[in-house]
Structure 1
């Protein structure tokens, strides 16, 4: 059968986290760069579909194509390593330390950002014909997204920051579920179907994904969005990264590890009472 049981894919999660810790720096950065670039292209695609069709649902239905491609190709997102890599530390795999976990996160962050930024520059060139004209309709929409999801939160102060953080938590609850879903099947079609569902939920609900935002906000700044780099970092990227870490590790990584990799002791079944025998009744 192509379906793996929860205990089986829970073990694969820990193994995957361990392998990422010991991966060569070059490979870690290349895979992260490509993941950031492909996800950025997928985000540009989804915004284009949404603008041209007027349907946010259409864009959300098609966005997961990029996520599926990058994971089938073996690339890594920050949101995924937030969930998988700590499990190798928690499971006490030999040679895995907190320092090695943080090293992996740092390299993946840099790679994802570089890939997303490269695509942001290329798409800005397309939207403006090499910065010779005003942004087209899609470019204007991306600039608006950047404003609404930075200064839009800032208008509400602490309540806006809390909302942003919770959206980051919910985002990686779904995205990391998609990462794990790829391990549930040994067939390409099974992996794609399983990944598609939670990614659709995250994108349509407008949750905050740190790597998608590495494309949207630099793009918005280049396309005339009325917000600053400090607005982007303080009122989006940093709280989103923290929310993504909490959501993925808590609701996916630790939850699955606790109940499928390190299950609790099985409760003793009560022994059924035996009916009295005729001999006992005669006494």
Structure 2
């Protein structure tokens, strides 16, 4: 059968996390760069659809195409390694250390940011004809997204920071569910269907994804958005990264590992003796 049971795909999750820890620096950076770039293109695609059709739902429905492609090609997002890589440490795989986990996270962050920034520069050129004119409608939309999602949070102070963090948690709860869903099937169609649904949900709900934001906010600064790089880091990227870590590891990685990787002993089945059944029948009479 094409479906992979949880007790089997949890082993794939741990194996994947272990492999990423021992991957070479070169391969880790290349795969992270491509993942950030493809996801950024997918975000630009979804925004273009939303602007041209006026239907945000349609943009959200089609956004997962980039996510599916990058995972089918074996590229890595920070949100995914937040969930998979720590499982190899928790499972006490030989040679896996906390420094190895942190090294992977750091390299993937750098690669994702470089890839997303590259696409941000390219899109800024496209929507301004090489910075020779004001941004077009798509560029205007991208340029102003960052204002509400930095200064908008800052205006609410601690409540805004809490909201931002929770949106980051919910985002990677869904994104990491999509990562795991790809392991639930051995066919391309099964993987795509599994990934599509939670990714569509996070994008339409406006949850905060650290790699998507690596594209949106630098793009916004390039296209005249009324916020600074410091606003972006303090009032979006850093809290979003922390929220993504908590959401993916807590609600996806650890829960699946705890109940399928290290299943608790089953409760003892108590079968009543025949004399107890007879005694109960007599009492009822």
Matched, 1:28 2:20: no
> For residue 59 of structure 2, what is the aligned residue in structure 1?
59
TM-score by length of 2: 0.96
> For residue 38 of structure 2, what is the aligned residue in structure 1?
38
Q: CA, structure 1 residues 169+276, in 2 after alignment: closer, same or farther (shift >3 Å)?
A: closer
> For residue 92 of structure 1, what is the aligned residue in structure 2?
92
Alignment of 1:67-146 (within 5 A): 67-146=67-146
Rounded to whole Å, the distance in 2 between the matches of 1:118 and 1:277 is 74
SS in 2 for 1:92: coil
User: Residues 78-136 of structure 1, C-alpha deviation per residue, up to 9 Å, x if partnerless?
Assistant: 00000000000000000000000000000000000000000000000000000000000
CA RMSD in angstroms comes to: 1.1
User: Residues 163-206 of structure 1, C-alpha deviation per residue, up to 9 Å, x if partnerless?
Assistant: 00000000000000000000000000000000000001100000
Rounded to whole Å, the distance in 2 between the matches of 1:144 and 1:60 is 18
> For residue 265 of structure 1, what is the aligned residue in structure 2?
265
Gaps of 5+ in 1: 279-283
Rounded to whole Å, the distance in 1 between the matches of 2:104 and 2:183 is 21
SS in 2 for 1:186: coil
Rounded to whole Å, the distance in 2 between the matches of 1:86 and 1:206 is 27
> For residue 281 of structure 2, what is the aligned residue in structure 1?
none
SS in 2 for 1:227: coil
> For residue 281 of structure 1, what is the aligned residue in structure 2?
none
Once the 2 structures are TM-superposed, how far is the Cα of residue 266 of structure 1 from its aligned partner?
1.1
Gaps of 5+ in 2: 279-285
Alignment of 1:99-248 (within 5 A): 99-248=99-248
User: Residues 2-42 of structure 1, C-alpha deviation per residue, up to 9 Å, x if partnerless?
Assistant: 11000100110000000000001000000000000000000
Once the 2 structures are TM-superposed, how far is the Cα of residue 144 of structure 1 from its aligned partner?
1.3
SS in 1 for 2:132: coil
Tell me which stretches of 4 or more aligned residues in structure 1 moved more than 2 Å.
275-278
Once the 2 structures are TM-superposed, how far is the Cα of residue 66 of structure 1 from its aligned partner?
0.2
Once the 2 structures are TM-superposed, how far is the Cα of residue 275 of structure 1 from its aligned partner?
4.7
Aligned length, in residue pairs: 278
TM-score by length of 1: 0.97
Once the 2 structures are TM-superposed, how far is the Cα of residue 270 of structure 1 from its aligned partner?
0.6
Rounded to whole Å, the distance in 1 between the matches of 2:256 and 2:147 is 37
